[in-house]
Amino acid sequence: MQKSNSPTSRSLRERIAHALAFEFIAVVLCAPTLAWLMGKSLAHLGILTLMFSSIAMLWNMLFNALFDRAQARLGFQRGLWARLVHASLFEVGLIVVLVPVAAWWLSISLFQALMLDLALILFFLPYTMGFNWAYDSLRARYWGRPQPCSVV
């Protein structure tokens, strides 16, 4: 039996593993880099990146559920414009939550926290693309082949 390689064929377990791997690698990359750049302890920035990661995952689930409801109610298609609106509203919502958290945790101004968040967005754009490309490539290579039937 061959497993489908399409994103829609992914199980909930795989989606959770994908999200956790994405966030784990992001924390491992961001915490030491931010600690070094900001002259703060790794523990201090590690906790902040874990808070950011948790908030981002929760916001992702909530926002996508709300967006799905809006789509069902308003009946729009997910074309280019809907995807641009989706991505923009998601990021704005995340900024509204993360900037005050960063300002409080790091004892910096809201403007400095906004600049930090914008820098993180610039990191996450290529990181997201690279991570998902690598994930999809590895998935196709290792799990896209015919799999023996197994009893689960």
The DSSP 8-state label assigned to residue 75 in this structure reads -
Distances in whole angstroms, Cα of residue 106 to Cα of each of 112, 115, 118, 121: 10, 13, 16, 18
**Distance (Å, whole) CA 132 – CA 140:** 12
57: which residues sit within 8 A by CB, 6+ positions away?
Answer: 19, 23
- Please state whether 75 falls in left (phi above 0), alpha (psi between -120 and 50) or beta: left
Report percent pLDDT > 70 for the chain: 88
Residue 102 has pLDDT above 80, yes or no: yes
Q: Which two tokens stand for residue 46?
A: 């590690």
**Distance (Å, whole) CA 50 – CA 38:** 17
pLDDT at position 152: 44
Mean pLDDT of the chain: 86
- Residue 10: CB atoms within 10 A of its CB come to 16
Q: What is the pLDDT of residues 37-93, one digit of tens each?
A: 999 999 999 999 999 999 999 998 899 889 889 989 998 888 888 888 888 999 999
pLDDT at position 9: 65
pLDDT at position 148: 43
Residue ranges per structural domain of the chain:
13-143
Q: What is the SS3 assignment for 110?
A: helix
Q: What is the SS3 assignment for 2?
A: strand
pTM for this predicted structure:
0.76
